[in-house]
Structure 1
Amino acid sequence: MQKLDRIKLKFSHGNLFLLGCMDTRIIQKKMFNSDTEQSEFDEMAEAGERDPLKEDEPVKKEGWFGIVSYNNPTSWLDWYKPGALTFLRMKCREKNHADIPDEEELNDKLPVHKIDKDGQEKLKNPTDPIQFMWIGHATFLVQFDGLTVLADPVFLERCSPVKFAGPYRYRPTPCEIEDLPKIDAVIVSHNHYDHLEHDAVKKLNTRFSKIKWYVPEGTGSWFRGYHCQNVKEMTWWDEDVLSEEKKDVRFCCVPAQHWSQRTPLDAMTSLWCGWVIKSKHTFYYSGDTGYCPVFKTIGEKYGPMDLSAIPIGCYAPRYFMKPQHIGPEEAVQVHNEVGSKCSVGIHWGTFDGLGSHEFYLEPKQLLEEAVRKAKEGNENFGKFFTVEHGEIIPIKSNQDTTKDSKDKDGAKL
Structure 2
Amino acid sequence: MSAQVPSSYAVPYPARRAAKVAEEAKNVRVVGRWPYGPAFAVVVQGRYAYLGSGGAVLVLDISDPSSPRKVGECVTPGIVEGLFVSGDYLYVADYKAGLRIIDISDPSFPMEVGAYDTPGYAKGVHVSGSYAYVADWDEGLRVIDISDPSSPMELGAYDTPGLAKAVHVSGSYAYVADGEAGLRVIDISDPYSPREVGAYDTPGYARGVHVSGSYAYVADEEAGLIILEFLAPGPHIHVSATSHNFGSVSVGSYSEWSFSIRNLGSANLTVSSVSSDNPAFEVVSPEFPQDISPEGSLEVKLRFSPTEAKSYAGTITIESNDPDQPSVSVSLSGEGVAPVSVSLPDTLANPEDTFVDNAKVMLGKLYPNPFNSMVVIPFSVSHPGEVEVAIYNLKGQVMWEYDGWFAPGWHRLVWDGRDMSGRKVGSGIYLVMVAAEDRKFAEKVAMVR
Larger of the two Rg values belongs to structure: 2
The structure richer in helix per residue is 1
Bucket of the pairwise TM-score, normalised by the shorter protein: under 0.3
Q: Which protein is richer in strand relative to its size?
A: 2
The alignment's TM-score, normalised by the length of structure 2, stands at 0.21
Greater RCO (CA < 8 Å, at least 6 residues apart): 1
Give TM-score scaled by structure 1 length. Answer: 0.22
